[in-house]
Amino acid sequence: MASSSDLKSAALMDQMKAHFSTDAGKAITKKIGLVYQINIARKKLGYDEEIYVVDLKKGEVTKGPYEGGKPDATFSFTDEDFYKVATGKMNPQIAFMRGAMRVKGSLSAAQKFTPDIFPKPAKMSTSVFKLRYKKNQRSLSNLKQIRKHDEELQLTKLSNSFNE
C-alpha cells in the first residue's frame, strides 16, 4: 500500500502493514482476531474521509471500505486525533469521551482497539536518531583528524621552508 495521501495517518497505516509481517505483529493478529474499519477525516468527522481496514484476522491493512460483511467495529477520527491515539499520545477511551472518536459496532471489539496494535513509531524514530547521531559523531571525529593532519602538514612545510 503506497501512501499517496497527505494524511499523517496514511504513513502509520503503511508502517502497520509492515508491522504485521513481524513476530510482534503476528502475535497481535493471533491475539485479537478482529476486523476494524477506520474512517479518517482531514478536519471534521464525517467529511472528506479516507477509509482503511485493519484486518487482525488476516494481518492486513487495506485502503477502502471492508468488503467481507460488517467489520467488528468502525471508528471515525480526524487525522490528528487518530495519529494521537495510534502513537499513544491520547487514550482511546478519553478520545471517545471527548467526541474525538466515534464508534459503531461491537463495544467489546472496540475495547480491544488500543495503541498496542500499532507499531511504535517513537521507538523507530529514536533508533534512527541514535544511528544518525553515531554516524555524525564518527564524521566529526574523522574531520578533526583530517584537520589535525593538515595542520601538521602545513607546519612541516613551513618548517622545511625555514630550513632551506
- Band of the pLDDT at 129, cuts 50, 70, 90? very low
Nearest to 36 by CA among 50, 21, 53: 53
- Band of the pLDDT at 41, cuts 50, 70, 90? very high
pLDDT over threshold 80, residue 11: yes
List all residues 6 or more positions away from 44 whose beta carbon is below 8 Å from its beta carbon: 78
Q: Taking a C-beta distance cutoff of 8 angstroms, is the pair 35, 65 a contact?
A: no
Annotation: CATH topology of 8-119: Nonspecific Lipid-transfer Protein; Chain A (3.30.1050)
pLDDT over threshold 80, residue 164: no
pLDDT over threshold 50, residue 87: yes
pLDDT over threshold 80, residue 23: yes
Give the pLDDT confidence score for residue 48 in this predicted structure: 84
Query: Structure pTM?
Result: 0.67
Per-residue pLDDT of 42-58, as tens digits, reads 988 878 899 999 999 99
Q: Where are the domains of the chain?
A: 8-119, 120-164
